[in-house]
Amino acid sequence: MEITWRFILWKRSSKNIVRCDRKYLHAIVIRILTNQSRLDTVIYSTDQHGWAELLPDYTPQPQLTTSQRVPWVVVGAGFTGLACARRLAELHRDEEIILLEARQVGQGTSGRNSGFAVAVTYSNGGFRVKEEEDYRRINRINQAGLEILRKQVQELEIDCQWREDGFHHLAADKIAVCETDLYLHFLKMLEIEHTALDHEIICDRLGTKLYHRGVHVPDGVLMQPAALVRGLAERLPSNIQLYEQSPVLQIDTGRPLTLKLDNCEIKADNILLATNYEVSKLGYLNQYLIGSTLSGSFTRILTQEELGSLGSLQHWGVLSLHGGGATVRLTPDHRICIRNTAEYHGGALLSERQLTERQNIHRQGFESRFPQLKNVPFEYAWSGVEGISRNFTNFFGKQHEHVYFAGGYNGSGVSRGTAFGTALAEYARGGASPLIEDCLASAPGAWIPPRPLLDVGAYFSIRSRFAGVGLDR
C-alpha cells in the first residue's frame, strides 16, 4: 500500500495501542507548536532484544578508539554492509577496509526481522502490465542476493537454521481472501512456481483453522536472522577490520573524507553507507526514508505434545495477503513467532513498557490462530525498525563524490540488501554488471515533507495499513 502522507482515519483494534499512540501523537503536536524538529534523543536506538536473545553469549569486536587512515570505510554491519565489505575485500585484497557498526552485530534491523529471505516480491493489488519489467527486475535482485547468501552459508558453514522451504501467503479475512486471486494471477503471469491452498490443506499443514485460502511459493528461505548476520560477521576476510558499538556521528566531505566518531576520526578515500533508514542521521536522503517500528513475540519452546497439536510441517513461515497482516513462523527449534504491529515511532525501538503493551496484540493474534496453545506463554518480545520510502522504491548509488549508499528495502532487506551491498562495492570501484544496472534502475524516491510535519503524516499513514485487516492481524 503506497504511503500517501495525508490524514487517514481507521478503526482502532486495541485500547492499549490507542492510549500509547495518542500520547505519542500529542508529543508530535507539542513539538510542532514549539518548533522542535527532533523527537528522538538517542542517536542509535538499541536494546538486548531480538533474535540475538535466543543465541549463546556473544563477545563483540572492540570499539574504535584511535584515529585511522584507510582507503575504504563501510558504515553499517547488517546484511548490506557485510555483503559490501566482503565484496570490497575480494576486489581489493591488499587494501584495508574498516567496517563500522553503531550497535552490536545482530542488534540492528538485520537481526530484528522475521527471518524471511525473499525471492519474490509482491505488492498488493495484483499484476499490472506496465510494471511487469519492474517486477522482474526486483525479483532478479532478490534472487541474486539469495544466491549470494546461499553460497556463503554453505561455504562458511554458518549455523543459522537455513531452510529452503519457501513461504505460505495466507488469507483469513475478506480483503486478504480477495487478494488471493490477484496474487495467483501475478504468479501465473510471471511464471513463478506456486501451489494454491484451501482451508483444509492449510489446517493440515500448519495446525490452524484461521486461514481460508492461500498460496505456497517454494522459492524463498527461512532462517534465524541474528545467527546469520553474526555468522557472516565472524567469518570476514582478513583485510576487513570490524568495529562494533562505534557509531558515526558526522561525515565531512572534504578530501580526504572524514568520519567523526565519539573519541576519534577516520580519514578515507571512499565511504559506502549501509545504514538503511538511518542514513539521514549522516546528512543524506533527509526527506526520502523513514523508519516504521514493528514488534513481535516468541513463545517458549513447545513440548512434543504441543507440537503434535499443530500440522504436518515441522517448520514454516506465513506472510499475510493483507498488507498489514501478521507474520508468523514455527521455527526449527520449536518456537512460534508472531509479528503483528507496525507503527510510526520516530525510527526508534519501543520502550519496555510499550513492548509489554504490544504483547497484548501479539497474544490476541497468537490465540486466534492457535487456541489449542492458549496456555503457552511468550518467552521473549522484540521490536525492530524497517526502512520505507513513500513510493516503496530502493536507493542505490552515489550521494556525494566518493560517498555511496544502498538502502530502503521496505521489509525485504535480507536478500535484497545482500544484493545491493555486493553491487555497491562493485559500482564504487567503477564496475559494471547486470546486477548493478538492475539496482541503478530503482525508481527515484518520492519526497517526504520535513519534520515535524512528517511525523504526523507518517503516523497516520503507517497506521492506515491496518485498515480492514480483521482476522489477519
What's the whole-model pTM score?
Answer: 0.91
φ and ψ at residue 425, rounded to 5 degrees: -60, -45
* CA–CA dist 125, 361 (Å, integer): 27
Residue that has been written with the C-alpha cell 578515507 in this structure: 268
By CB atoms closer than 10 A (0-12, 13-18, 19+), residue 385 is buried
In order of their start, the domains of the chain are: 51-472 (3.50.50.60)
* CA–CA dist 324, 36 (Å, integer): 31
Contact 245, 38 (CB under 8 A): no
Residue 361 has pLDDT above 50, yes or no: yes
What single DSSP character describes residue 217?
E
Grid coordinates representing 78 are 547488517
DSSP-derived 3-state class of residue 81? helix
Contact 212, 177 (CB under 8 A): yes
Mean pLDDT check: name the lowest of 24-28, 203-207, 363-367, 450-454: 24-28
Written as one letter, the residue type at 100 is L
Grid coordinates representing 204 are 493440515
φ and ψ at residue 375, rounded to 5 degrees: -90, 0
Residues with Cβ within 8 Å of residue 394, at least 6 apart in sequence: 406, 407, 408, 409, 410, 416, 420, 439, 442
Q: Rounded to whole angstroms, what are the CA distances from 455 to 7, 234, 291, 410, 444? A: 11, 38, 11, 18, 22
Give me the percent of the chain exceeding a pLDDT of 90: 81
DSSP-derived 3-state class of residue 243? strand
Predicted local distance difference test score (pLDDT) of residue 51: 96
* CA–CA dist 28, 38 (Å, integer): 9
Residue that has been written with the C-alpha cell 538485520 in this structure: 110
Mean pLDDT check: name the lowest of 47-61, 227-241, 416-430, 445-459: 445-459
Name the pLDDT band for 353 (thresholds 50, 70, 90). very high
* CA–CA dist 222, 166 (Å, integer): 7
DSSP-derived 3-state class of residue 67? coil
Contact 449, 459 (CB under 8 A): no
Averaged pLDDT, 131-141: 98
What single DSSP character describes residue 4?
-
By CB atoms closer than 10 A (0-12, 13-18, 19+), residue 304 is exposed
Grid coordinates representing 283 are 546528512
Calculate helix-pair angle for 352-369, 15-33, nearest 10 degrees.
Answer: 140
Model confidence pLDDT, tens digit, residues 410-454? 889 999 999 999 999 999 999 999 999 999 999 999 888 876 776
Predicted local distance difference test score (pLDDT) of residue 229: 98
* 241 vs 36, residue with greater confidence: 241
Q: How many CB atoms lie within 10 A of CB 343?
A: 22
* CA–CA dist 62, 140 (Å, integer): 37
* CA–CA dist 63, 88 (Å, integer): 22
Model confidence pLDDT, tens digit, residues 176-200? 999 999 999 999 999 999 999 999 9
* CA–CA dist 233, 452 (Å, integer): 37
* 21 vs 259, residue with greater confidence: 259
Compute the C-alpha angle 170/108/218, nearest 5°: 30
